[in-house]
Structure 1
Amino acid sequence: MSRLSVFISNQAPADYYSAGTVLSINGQTAQIHLADPQNDLDQIKKAARSLDNSGVMQVELSGSWQIEQQWAFAQSFTTTTKQNHIKWCDDNNANELSHRYQAMIFTRNIINATPEDLSPEILANTCQDWLTSIDAKHITSKKWVGEALKEQGWMGIYHVGRGSTRPPVLIEIDYNPTGDNNAPISACLVGKGITFDSGGYSIKSSEGMLSMKCDMGGAATVTGALGLAILRGLKKRVKLFLCCAENLISGHAYKLGDVITYKNGTTVEVVNTDAEGRLVLADGLMAATETGAELIIDAATLTGAAMVALGEEYNAFFALDKALQQRVLDYSAQEFEPSWGLPLEKWHQNKCPSAFADTANSKAQKGGGGGGASNAAGFLSRFVNEAGKGWLHIDLAAAYNASGTVHMPIGATAQGIRTIARALLEE
């Protein structure tokens, strides 16, 4: 199949094109007209979506493109069914773009996978296998499955996942390029891996449940980020903790009013079985904290409240360590992945009170009430060090598009992998 050659042009299109046109096609050549150079990435994304919607299958980026222009085009042109159909410019950016694309495709494809094909164990194994394919020499892992979680005290993952016939899993993936088994762990990544979220007995509506295959987006994102960091030359030891479960209804599912006792002694009353992500992340954060790592980043499609606050274009950052939060916000800007800081203080730990436990897992009202995203982050802060030093929580509001937009195709975005990879390399 012949490729369409796509050029960047700083000239306006010919007179016979309507005002506002950013794309013109002549035979096997297309030009993206950047009428507003200050908004070039936005225009390029719209043009890429137009080409995809026109049925163009193969493109070659020709002429002079900056690296972020090429990447913006690739993000928007690549769909669930059309991948690896782009030939990069013949310049010195091809290697970095190839690494980004590899990580993006992995992240998007696993998030977009049907939940029937992606059980908690398959999710854990797929993430491990992909990282091993990048650097088999330095990847090891161990995992706890089903009843083994209960025996080891990982009670959040166990209780959320016990309603499914497919058992929950906590997997620890150790990337250790030093060759020294006693090498300190520089950073830990923790990902929410709910392979399908029915809401449990706090059941979602049919419309709300339709896209809940994406609720393992945190696990996919941190895995994609670690893979990208390795491809970029990461030399530090990093551990990845994926908290994997299906949140389903059955005679053995966890229930409203249950109290979960965690390894650190914290007791949690379940007032909403659809606030399950924070319950599984608590285990992963405790496991990460036990390593002594100076940097811990967790990522999760955690709250609808973050999407209400920021829409589907920005990820939300929360931290008690404000200096860390600002540094990673700077990384996100440098990596062209929009993010925004939302409030988190120590007192957010007490925003979901319980008469029967140290805390509830939410407020017993629709959507968790006002400030739901901050309250969820406050809950998580109970499971890291007392001051929250070195810990950042990312609520992935921009992880998934339930419908296509003028900028992005339907499905997973992989937004966040570049920011987290940058933090692993820089911190």
Structure 2
Amino acid sequence: ADAAHVRRIADGVFLTRDLVNTPTSDMGPDELEKAARVLAATHQAEVSVIMGDDLLKQNLPMIHAVGRASTNAPRLIDMLWGPPEAPKVTLVGKGVCFDTGGLDIKPSSGMLLMKKDMGGAANVLGLASMIMAARRNVRLRVLIPAVENSIAGNAFRPGDVLTSRKGITVEIGNTDAEGRLVLADALALADDEQPELLVDMATLTGAARVALGPDLPPFYTGDEVLASELSAASMAVEDPLWRMPLWRPYDAKLSSKIADINNVTSDGFAGSVTAALFLKRFVEKTPRWAHFDIFAWNPSDRAHGIAGGEAQGIRALERIISRRFG
């Protein structure tokens, strides 16, 4: 056994679990930024942050809109590591540190686990830890839109039309579908660089849990080679994943009469698929893109982890990155 490899994987998994398990009172956007900075300092990575109204100046308007009602300012965390000439690998993680649902407020029962709505961010930080500790030959970039979807007089509203970084206008059909909004701006920024591999991870839809349950995260990609690699890696390291289709006929369900696109569908069908199709509109230049709709949680104790936050998909991704980029 490669003991050093095992330790790197375990450290990444434990980092992810710890971040997800931490209550939002101790893991808001400020604290998530601090966690990223601690990880970066450990591996001599660089971190820059765009925060508050500077998001508007830097053309990240949907991240600003989702997070502006919180007393904890929204921000985009941007971590860079590795030689500039190395192949670019970019990880984007949904960092919604708490989700009330916004003005389309969730019922109280629906908020009980919303401290884990930054599970995508936690997972990409865990994966980044594995990659940097192994000194992989990549130019790693980690983008985390860190926000709290709160309620105040300046909260974004159902029926609003937001203009995204990419210029695509988005009608807000539901303020509780906020994760795809912050991811869209971050993905558009990542896509500008056309990395060799672009991955986003998010606790995005309840529909994914209805389809596959909490243990089997779906992933979406239009790259057949990448899909095959992910399926094989999932089996090899026993990190369950299941490919779901980017079914183009469902794209029309996101239509809007007053904007380029709506952030939700009207019929409620295929919610995870249509969320992935929404994100796909913001990735045009990068062919090797994959979206993971994770749960980031163990509902009950099991042999590999007690009830609570969980790393999902990142061990399989680590295997692909180590084999492809060394």
TM-score tier (shorter):
over 0.9
- Aligned-residue RMSD, C-alpha: 1.7
Residue 124 of structure 1 corresponds to which residue in structure 2?
33
Post-superposition shift, 1:407? 6.4
Name which of structure 1's ranges 403-412 and 276-285 shifts more when overlaid on structure 2: 403-412
Instruction: Please tell me whether residue 306 in structure 1 is matched to residue 204 in structure 2.
Output: no
Distance 2:93 2:18 in 1: 16
Residue 49 of structure 2 corresponds to which residue in structure 1?
143
Letter in 2 for 1:313: D
The higher-RCO structure (CA 8 Å, 6+ apart) is 2
Give the 3-state SS of the residue equivalent to 1:268 in structure 2: strand
Higher-Rg member (1/2)? 1
Distance 1:292 1:241 in 2: 14
Letter in 2 for 1:415: Q
Instruction: Please tell me whether residue 371 in structure 1 is matched to residue 270 in structure 2.
Output: yes
Residue 75 of structure 1 corresponds to which residue in structure 2?
none
Give the 3-state SS of the residue equivalent to 2:281 in structure 1: helix
Give the 3-state SS of the residue equivalent to 1:239 in structure 2: strand
Instruction: Please tell me whether residue 417 in structure 1 is matched to residue 314 in structure 2.
Output: yes
Q: Is the 8 A contact 2:24 2:115 kept in 1?
A: yes
Post-superposition shift, 1:408? 4.1
Residue 38 of structure 1 corresponds to which residue in structure 2?
none
Q: Is the 8 A contact 1:185 1:291 kept in 2?
A: no
Name which of structure 1's ranges 248-257 and 94-103 shifts more when overlaid on structure 2: 94-103
Post-superposition shift, 1:97? 2.2
Residue 112 of structure 1 corresponds to which residue in structure 2?
21
Give the 3-state SS of the residue equivalent to 1:423 in structure 2: helix
Residue 389 of structure 1 corresponds to which residue in structure 2?
287
- Residues 1:391 and 1:120: Cα distance change in structure 2 (over 3 Å): same
Distance 1:231 1:407 in 2: 22
Q: Is the 8 A contact 1:229 1:422 kept in 2?
A: no
Distance 2:228 2:122 in 1: 24
- 1:378-407 CA-to-partner distances (Å, cap 9, x unmatched) read 000000116x6111000103x112444576
Task: Give 5+ residue unaligned stretches, structure 2.
Answer: none
Residue 14 of structure 1 corresponds to which residue in structure 2?
none
Distance 1:258 1:199 in 2: 15
Residue 199 of structure 1 corresponds to which residue in structure 2?
101
Taking structure 1 as the reference length, what is the TM-score of the superposition? 0.73
Q: Is the 8 A contact 1:350 1:359 kept in 2?
A: no
Residue 27 of structure 1 corresponds to which residue in structure 2?
none
Residue 259 of structure 1 corresponds to which residue in structure 2?
161
- 1:337-393 CA-to-partner distances (Å, cap 9, x unmatched) read 01001111344433211111011000246xxx110000000000000116x611100
Q: 2:192 aligns with which of 263, 268, 290?
A: 290
Instruction: Please tell me whether residue 359 in structure 1 is matched to residue 256 in structure 2.
Output: no
Residue 20 of structure 1 corresponds to which residue in structure 2?
none
Post-superposition shift, 1:151? 1.1
Runs of 4+ in structure 1 over 6 Å off: none
Distance 2:258 2:130 in 1: 44
Q: 2:67 aligns with which of 161, 179, 188?
A: 161
Letter in 2 for 1:239: R
Q: Is the 8 A contact 2:86 2:137 kept in 1?
A: no
Give the 3-state SS of the residue equivalent to 2:24 in structure 1: coil
Once the two structures are aligned, what percentage of the paired residues are identical?
A: 38
